[in-house]
Every structure is written in C-alpha cells, then in structure tokens.
Amino acid sequence: MSIFEYAPAPESRSIVDIRPSYGLFVDGEFADGTGTPFKTVNPATEEVLSEVATGSDADVDRAVRAARRAFTRVWGPMRPADRGKYLFRIARLLQERAREFAVLETLDNGKPIRESRDVDVPLAAAHFFYHAGWADKLEHAGLGPAPRPLGVAGQVIPWNFPLLMLAWKVAPALATGNTVVLKPAETTPLTALLFAEICQQADLPPGVVNIVTGAGETGRAVISHPDVDKVAFTGSTEVGRAIARAVAGTEKRLTLELGGKAANIVFDDAPIDEAVEGIVRGIFFNQGHVCCAGSRLLVQESVHDDVVASLQRRIGTLRVGDPMDKNTDLGAINSAEQLARIRDLTAYGETEGATCWQPEGDLPDRGFWFKPTVFTDVSPAHRIARDEVFGPVLSVMTFRTPDEAVAKANNSTYGLSAGVWSEKGSRILKITDQLRAGVVWANTFNELDPTSPFGGYKQSGYGREGGRQGLSAYLRSDF
C-alpha cells in the first residue's frame, strides 16, 4: 500500500465518436469489405468497441490499383514542395485532434492515457512534421542527386503502437513520393481508420493512402500483391520470416522491424535511483509491449542487491489498472492471446528455476491484465532470458567485468536496442561501440525521435526507420 492514495482521474471518452462499424478506406472513400467483419474490443474491459471490415484479396487488389493510379497520375508527378504541404497539414491535424486520437488509442489498445497522450500521438505528429520537411530536400539527403520514389508501398503494422507505427510507415513513404496500402493490426484498427478521416480532411488526393483492415490473411495479400514495389513490416520475427520468404525472388524492396530482447546494463558507478527509473521505463512502458524493451537487466554483481531492492520498492508504487485514468502507469495487456503468451513464458521461468517477484495488489476482474514482474536468479540459458516475452516481465542477470557485460548483452539472437548506465563517459563510449544493437541508449531508455534511425541486427530485422537513413528504404537512387 502506498502512503498516498490518488482519487480517480478518468479521462472522458466523450470526445471520440466510435462508429458501430467501419469499412475499408480505399481510393479516398470508406467502402464495405468483402471478407467477414471482425470485432475490436477494449482490452481493459472486454467491451466490443466496433465491428471492422476484413479486406479480401479482391479488396486488397482494389486498394493497390488505387494506390498505383494515385502514384502514376498525381502523387508521383506532384512538386515535392506540394507533397510537403500535405504532410504538414496532416501533422497539424493530428495535433489538433490529439485528444481524440489519444482516447481512441487507449480504448482500443489498453495503454495508459498518459502514454497515448504524451508519447504516441505527439510522436506520430512529429514524424509527419519531420518528414514533411524532407519532402522537397531529398536531393540533399546523401542518397544521390535525384532519388526517385519506388511506387506503391505495402505496409503491415502491429498493435503495440498502432498510430505511431502508422506514422513511422506512412510519413516517410509519402514524403519520398510513394503511395501506400497499409494494414493495421486486427486488435487495434481504430486509430488507423480515424487517420483515414484525417487524410480526407487534409484533402489528400484519393488513393495516396489506403487503409485495409483484417488479420494475417489480409496482411499476406498486401505483401504478396504483384504490383506492390516496397514491403515494410513491423511485428513478430516468425511472420517477418514468412514475409521475407514471400518477397524473395521478386523485385520488391523489403524492410523488417521485428522483435528484440534488449540488454539494459547497469554499472556499479551508475546513479542507482536514475537507473531504476530507466529500468522501469525500459520494461514497463506500454506494458512491455515494446520491441526495444529493456527486458534483460544486466547488473554489476556488487550492486545487484541494492538495485533489485530499489527496483522492487519503485514497482510497488506503480499504478496498474484503468488505462483511462490519468494516474495509471500500467494498463491492460492488448489481447487474450498475448496474455496467454506472457503467462506461458513466465511459467517457464519458474519451472526453469528463476525466482519470480510481483508486487502486492489486486488486478481488475474484467479485461486482460498482468502484474509487473521481476525474475532474479536468471541464467542466460533460461527461456525468459532468450525469448521475447513482449509483456511487463524483466529478467535480471549479473556480470563482473565490462567484457562480461558486453558478451552477455550480445548473447542474443536479437539485436534491436540496448542501454548502458554509468557515470563514466569513456566507459559508455567504449561499451556502446561493442554492443551489437541498432539503437543504444546511455543513461536513458526507450527514447524515440523521428530524426534518429531505428532498426535492428540479426533476427531483429533489417533496414532503418526514421532519420535520413530511413528515407533510403523508400527511394531508388540506382540509375
């Protein structure tokens, strides 16, 4: 029990108008899908929010044709500065309607309103602003004197940051002159459909952005459509592999942003309180549904007990519950399936001999919930040290020397991100240099910015999103 009790501070949901059903957004208009519609629920209450269309192969084909027409006739030939104006307009509309997006994201995904309001939506707008600025400066991006768009991009995204992942995909594609067919995840389609309204409001020419909802089959239709020039996927390594196989031998360009099992390395000279905040942010942000989550904590042996004790004290103050409450730190797990995966892997942890700790307190009766969890006595061979849990579950291991820290951190099939905590700048530079991870944070964690390229090594995928580097995934400079 904490010494302070907070009164409930619920955000109102009256700002969003959720329709009972949604169609597909193709060629600038909403239209029925020909597949069987599916329901999307609020994972915090299991309440059905809406019924959403499923795009069939024929629907996806219509969307790709619309995107091709828009590319050939309007968006491709358009003056780059004019494309930039549309992107600026979209960015401003996202800001104007930020509260609506934040509430809708939290209802559909289960993440705390504090995060959707302060992270997801502002960062999504920032991605559009950033890429709007690039639209008429591409010849200065270091990618050749006259880089050209690829054509139609087929994009498939996951449920952990629904609007933000849309922004990561759509903004660079449009800024570089491509058109888009995007498939959101089946548990979180609503903010993508609200984004479709933004495209209408911005007078974006029809067909430049098409949103086709549905599950894996619809995604498969998008990525395997013969008239798609570029495939961009974020999601599980397993599906990423299937996509790589489907795209192999075609002319399609491919970027994959897959899972991770990031090491967060705490040296004995690190300021412990700050490191603890960073550990919490690393693994409990967004319920741990984060590909770059700091899920493997590597602590120098001499400070292990202090760090774990501080961490447990801090976790005891985290508020788990109603995502719409502005004081909530951890919201709901996104789906029953994901909850089952988290339970499976944590059960393994106990079977394999690690020590499981969870704070006191009750979870809500309805909805999908999992307590913030810390495993100690973890060995690098344990599944909880190797497999991505994609939930609020931290595995703690120790090291004695910097070399051992690096060796343990790199002992992973993944290589998306890592963190280093130390007072010593020279040590940070030396260690970060040796870490085989796409992003390395020093004395912070899970800091994202549109100007900074993001992406992985090994089974975390290939290609970069964001920054100047991210533009190259959507441009042809070979001629």
3-state class of 4 per DSSP?
coil
Nearer to ligand NAD, 119 or 299 (CB): 119
CA atoms within 13 A on the CB side of 291: 29
Nearer to ligand NAD, 341 or 468 (CB): 341
239 binds ligand NAD (CB under 6 A): yes
The sign of the dihedral angle between the CA atoms of 332, 450, 238, 417 is negative
Q: Which residue is nearest to ligand NAD (CB)?
A: 219
Taking CB under 6 A as the binding criterion, the range among 152-160, 203-211, 279-287, 377-385 that sits at the site for ligand NAD is: 152-160
At closest approach, how far in Å is the CB of 109 from Mg ion?
6
CB of 424 to ligand NAD, least distance (A): 32
What's the min distance (Å) between Cβ of 213 and Mg ion?
12
If binding is defined by CB under 5 A, does position 295 make contact with Mg ion?
no
Measured CA to CA, the distance from residue 44 to residue 47 in angstroms comes to: 8
Query: Could you give the angle at the alpha carbon of 344 between the alpha carbons of 414 and 438, nearest 5°?
Result: 15
**Which residues make Cβ contacts (< 8 Å) with residue 173, sequence separation at least 6?**
153, 155, 179, 180, 230, 232, 474
Which partner in Mg ion, ligand NAD, none is near 156 (CB below 5 to 8 A by kind)?
A: ligand NAD
Length of the chain: 479
The backbone torsions φ and ψ at residue 94, rounded to the nearest 5 degrees and listed phi first, read -60, -40
Q: Does 237 bind Mg ion (CB under 5 A)?
A: no
Q: Which residues, numbered 289-318, are part of the site for ligand NAD (CB under 6 A)?
A: 291
The option from ligand NAD, Mg ion, none interacting with 272 (CB < 5 to 8 A, set by class) reads none
DSSP helix/strand/coil, 101? helix
Interaction of residue 235 with ligand NAD, rule CB under 6 A:
yes
Beta pairing class for 29-31 and 24-26: antiparallel
Binding of residue 243 to ligand NAD (CB under 6 A): yes
Distance CA 91, CA 155 (A): 20
Q: Is 257 a catalytic residue?
A: yes
How far is Cα 224 from Cα 407, in angstroms, rounded to an integer? 39
Q: Which of 63, 124, 174, 185 binds ligand NAD (CB under 6 A)?
A: 185
Q: Residue 116's CB: how many other CB atoms inside 10 A?
A: 33
DSSP strands (E only) in 323-438: 355-357, 373-376, 393-399, 414-415, 417-421
Give the interface segment with Mg ion, choosing from 185-193, 230-238, 421-429, 465-473 (CB under 5 A): 185-193
Tokens standing for residue 291: 């590909």
Contact between 50 and 18 under an 8 Å Cβ cutoff? The reply is yes
Stretch that binds Mg ion, among 33-41, 83-91, 219-227, 381-389 (CB under 5 A): 33-41
CB of 259 to ligand NAD, least distance (A): 5
User: Near Mg ion by CB under 5 A, which window of 38-46, 144-152, 160-168, 290-298?
Assistant: 38-46
Q: Which of 183, 256, 253, 191 is nearest to 220 (CA)?
A: 183
**According to CB under 6 A, which one of 41, 52, 156, 378 is a site residue for ligand NAD?**
156
Residues 196-225 that bind ligand NAD (CB under 6 A): 215-216, 219-220, 223
54 binds ligand NAD (CB under 6 A): no
CA distances from 263 to 146, 184, 417 (A): 40, 29, 7
Shortest spacing between CB 335 and ligand NAD, in angstroms: 8
Question: Which residue is catalytic, options 257, 274, 301, 447?
Answer: 257
Kindly list the residues in this chain that would bind ligand NAD in the complex (CB under 6 A).
156-160, 183, 185-186, 215-216, 219-220, 223, 234-236, 239, 242-243, 257-259, 291, 341, 388, 390
Catalytic (active-site) positions: 257
